[in-house]
Structure 1
Amino acid sequence: MTEGGKVIAYKPSMLQMGAYADPITPSKKITVIENPNEDSNENGIAKIGGIPAWIQDDENLKTLDYALQINGSRLNKAAPYHKGILVGGIGYLMLKKNISCQDIDAGKFLIQTS
């Protein structure tokens, strides 16, 4: 939690990938819907892009861009076998700029709690 999780990038594929560790199973479908409301830094829901809702201090990682956030309650529903992994907070995915190939250090997954 204090060091950030490792983020691995794979080329898009219809096959399950696991070159660096065991494959993540069972696979899950992620449904994305457009938020009809205006986004802000107060919006702590699960979202792709937009304005991050930092619980603690803003993270400024010069070589990484904010990609998405997921709150603990959404992850608990989607992956009940990992319930509590975000300690009631929010996980933020930060990615390198211009990832063009498979990369074992593609970014960081940060967790902030209140």
Structure 2
Amino acid sequence: MTGHRIFGVSVASVYPAYIAKAERKGRTKQEVDEIFRWLTGHSQESFERELADKTSFEDFFAKAPKMNPARELITGVVCGIRVENIEDPTMKAIRQLDKLVDELAKGKAMTRILRGEHAAS
């Protein structure tokens, strides 16, 4: 595997942290799951299968059923880096996911998080 070490980390190992972050701010696991599904095109069942299989971030995004084209509307800073300027597609997808969960934790409405009329779940 070439690339950042986060690429080899399983989504399942980080998923509880996403949920905890959301729940600390009064949001739900279901909303976190909706973000994952919106971004990747997974059904709830296929998403849960990827978690159970301990799929790496690299494989999770590479095998995503259909990355949402509206993800290009995700802008802003995560970990000091502008999401829209990231060139590596896997790192960009990871940071887009991080940004969406950050927005959830900050109390934004789901319609805004899922980029309005582009919210094709």
Q: Same fold (TM over 0.5)?
A: no
Greater relative CO (CA pairs within 8 A, separation 6+): 1
Q: TM-score, normalised by structure 1?
A: 0.26
By percentage of residues, which structure has more helix? 2
Q: Which has the higher strand share?
A: 1
TM-score when scaled to structure 2? 0.25
